[in-house]
């Protein structure tokens, strides 16, 4: 039976010489003017040559939606698959080719509505893929219906009187599924995107990054509370491992937990820093509590919620194959012959 020799032996590109241009495809980018996706694309194209991976070893997988056009713009291997199913496609790639760097681009509709099931399972299995979920809280490509992350009461094309279903929080969903790396960043904050994606890329196992992304056509200004200069300071809570949760002008406010695990906002100058909850990416309880901080009652956390090491599905699967093959004494012909008798 074939093994690694089933794939062509090639001379890989030297990653040291790669530039952003190498990752830019010749396709016209067709997102609407002002779309947040442009900024994310630029940051991803900028990050790729810094990872020390030959560009032919990248695969970008997507489903359907505005965000899922992404692979066409990356000069790498890629599959623009079907709605919601990118996690499953990526799992298949990784299962047979653990040597590849697989990136998955999805949206709030693609990833959490039609693809919610697959997203849960790719995270549960800890398949070594990097998942970028562009959350614009709306369906863009189908022209403006509310999405599973739209706030209750959202008036959109299919909810003229306001939606009556409660939204999902992607970060909480990912944590609930047992994801080993969960982060959130924002399309306009290019430095933060860069730092977050760098960490996601370095993570071994599933890395889930929610990116708040503005849709200027169907849901403009949805994240102004985080991106607008006058509001940002009061609403952004930047997570740093081991540091107390502080936000606001000069970090004057912070998050504390009372005895019943209920978060509250405290004034750091009067109550002191010791009262504050310290962020811990390796403590699941802390990650879960922090993920429940929601606008407008609380500031919105951005950064890495959780980062822990756990063997990934593809590595364990291939280790099993490896270990079983080493002790194998049976050929395929012997299996075919099993239990046979001869008629003379």
Partner 1 sequence: MGTSSPGKAPEQVESVAIRFAGDSGDGMQLVGTQFTSTTALAGNDLATLPDFPAEIRAPAGSLAGVSGFQINFSSNPVFTAGDLLDVLVAMNPAALARNLKDLKEGGILIANSEAFNAKNLERAGYRENPLDTAVVSAYRLFKVDVTALTLASVRAFKLDHRAATRCKNFFALGLIYWLYSRSMDATVQWIERKFGDKVLGQANLAALRAGYNYGETTEMFDHAYEVRKAAITPGKYRNISGNEALALGLMAGSELSGLNLFLGSYPITPASDVLHMLSNMKALGVRTFQAEDEIAAVCACLGAAYAGALAATTTSGPGMALKAEAMGLAVMTELPMVVINVQRAGPSTGMPTKTEQADLMQAMFGRNGESPLPVLAARTPGDCFHAAIEAARIAVTYMTPVVLLTDGYLANGAEPWPVPNIDAMPRFPVSFRTDTEGFKPYLRDASLARPWAIPGTPGLEHRVGGLEKDNGTGNISYDGANHEAMCRLRAEKVARVADSLPPTVVEGAQEGDLLVLGWGSTYGSISGGIHKVAARNLKIGHVQLQHINPLPKDLEHIMKRFRRVMVPELNLGQLAMILRARFPETTIHSHTKIQGLPFRENDIAKAIIQLLETN
Part of the chain binding partner 1 (CB under 8 A), chosen from 40-48, 194-202, 266-274, 318-326: 318-326
**Strand 77-80 relative to strand 58-62: parallel, antiparallel, unpaired?**
parallel
Q: Please check whether residue 179 is in contact with residue 200, taking contact to mean a CB–CB distance below 8 angstroms.
A: no
Residues 108-167 that bind partner 1 (CB under 8 A): 117-118, 120-121
Q: Nearest CA to 216 among 31, 62, 41?
A: 31
Instruction: Give the 3-state secondary structure of residue 299.
Output: coil
Residue 3 binds partner 1, judged by CB under 8 A = yes
Part of the chain binding partner 1 (CB under 8 A), chosen from 8-16, 139-147, 261-269, 285-293: 8-16
* Shortest Å, Cβ 135 to partner 1: 22
Tell me the C-alpha distance between 227 and 230, whole Å: 9
Q: Which is nearer to partner 1, 229 or 330 (CB)?
A: 330
Phi/psi for 68 (5° steps) reads -75, -5
Residue 59 binds partner 1, judged by CB under 8 A = yes
Q: Please check whether residue 135 is in contact with residue 108, taking contact to mean a CB–CB distance below 8 angstroms.
A: yes
Residues 221-280 that bind partner 1 (CB under 8 A): none
Q: Which DSSP letter does residue 28 get?
A: P
Q: How far is CA 48 from the centre of its chain?
A: 16
Q: Which is nearer to partner 1, 296 or 341 (CB)?
A: 341
- Rama region for 29: left / alpha / beta (φ>0; ψ in -120 to 50; rest): beta
Q: Which is nearer to partner 1, 33 or 339 (CB)?
A: 339
Residues 321-340 that bind partner 1 (CB under 8 A): 321, 324-325, 327-328, 330, 332-333, 335-340
Residues 83-112 that bind partner 1 (CB under 8 A): 85, 87-97, 99-100
Per the DSSP assignment, residues forming a β-bridge with 106 are 133
For the CA atoms of 183, 189, 190, 191, the dihedral, rounded to the nearest 10 degrees, stands at: -70
Q: Which is nearer to partner 1, 87 or 167 (CB)?
A: 87
Count residues binding partner 1 (CB under 8 A). 71
* Shortest Å, Cβ 147 to partner 1: 20
Tell me the C-alpha distance between 89 and 127, whole Å: 11
Q: Which is nearer to partner 1, 39 or 91 (CB)?
A: 91
* Shortest Å, Cβ 132 to partner 1: 17
Residues 10-29 that bind partner 1 (CB under 8 A): 10-13, 25, 27
* Shortest Å, Cβ 96 to partner 1: 4
29, 38, 42, 75: residue in contact with partner 1 (rule CB under 8 A): 75
- The single residue listed with the structure tokens 């933060």 is 192
Q: Nearest CA to 86 among 115, 58, 113, 66?
A: 115
24, 38, 54, 188: residue in contact with partner 1 (rule CB under 8 A): 54
The encoded tokens of residue 156 equal: 């959109």
47, 217, 293, 317: residue in contact with partner 1 (rule CB under 8 A): 317
Q: Nearest CA to 133 among 172, 105, 95, 102?
A: 105
Residue 77 binds partner 1, judged by CB under 8 A = yes
Q: Which DSSP letter does residue 110 get?
A: I
* Shortest Å, Cβ 194 to partner 1: 23
Q: Nearest CA to 42 among 186, 184, 182, 193?
A: 193
Q: How far is CA 337 from the centre of its chain?
A: 48
Part of the chain binding partner 1 (CB under 8 A), chosen from 81-89, 105-113, 143-151, 169-177: 81-89
Q: Which is nearer to partner 1, 258 or 337 (CB)?
A: 337
* Shortest Å, Cβ 27 to partner 1: 7
């Amino acid at each position: 039976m074939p093994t690694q020799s089933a794939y062509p032996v090639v001379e890989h590109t030297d990653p040291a010489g790669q530039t952003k241009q190498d990752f830019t495809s010749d396709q016209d980018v067709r997102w609407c003017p002002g779309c947040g996706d442009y900024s994310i694309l630029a940051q991803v194209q900028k990050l790729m040559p810094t990872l020390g991976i030959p560009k032919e070893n990248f695969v970008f997988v997507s489903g359907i939606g505005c965000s899922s056009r992404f692979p066409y713009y990356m000069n790498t291997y890629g599959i623009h698959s079907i709605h919601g199913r990118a996690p499953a496609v990526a799992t298949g790639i990784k299962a047979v080719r653990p040597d590849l760097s697989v990136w998955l681009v999805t949206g709030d509709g693609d990833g959490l509505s039609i693809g919610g099931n697959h997203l849960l399972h790719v995270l549960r299995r800890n398949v070594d893929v990097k998942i970028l979920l562009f959350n614009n809280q709306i369906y863009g490509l189908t022209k403006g219906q509310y999405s599973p992350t739209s706030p209750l009461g959202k008036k959109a094309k299919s909810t003229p009187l306001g939606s009556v279903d409660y939204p999902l929080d992607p970060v909480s969903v990912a944590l609930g599924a047992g994801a080993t790396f969960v982060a959130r960043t924002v399309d306009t904050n290019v430095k933060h995107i860069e730092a977050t994606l760098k960490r996601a890329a370095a993570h071994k196992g599933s890395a889930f990054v929610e990116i708040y992304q503005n849709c200027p056509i169907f849901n403009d200004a949805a994240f102004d509370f985080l991106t607008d200069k006058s509001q940002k300071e009061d609403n952004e809570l930047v997570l740093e491992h081991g540091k107390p949760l502080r936000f606001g002008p000069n970090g004057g406010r912070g998050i504390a937990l009372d005895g019943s695990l209920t978060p509250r906002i405290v004034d750091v100058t009067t109550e002191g820093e010791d009262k504050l909850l310290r962020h811990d990416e390796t403590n699941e309880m802390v990650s879960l509590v922090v993920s429940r901080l929601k606008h407008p009652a609380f500031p919105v956390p951005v950064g890495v919620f959780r980062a822990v090491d756990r063997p990934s599905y593809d590595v364990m699967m291939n280790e099993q194959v490896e270990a079983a093959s080493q002790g194998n004494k049976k050929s395929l012909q012997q299996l075919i012959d099993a239990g046979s008798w001869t008629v003379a």
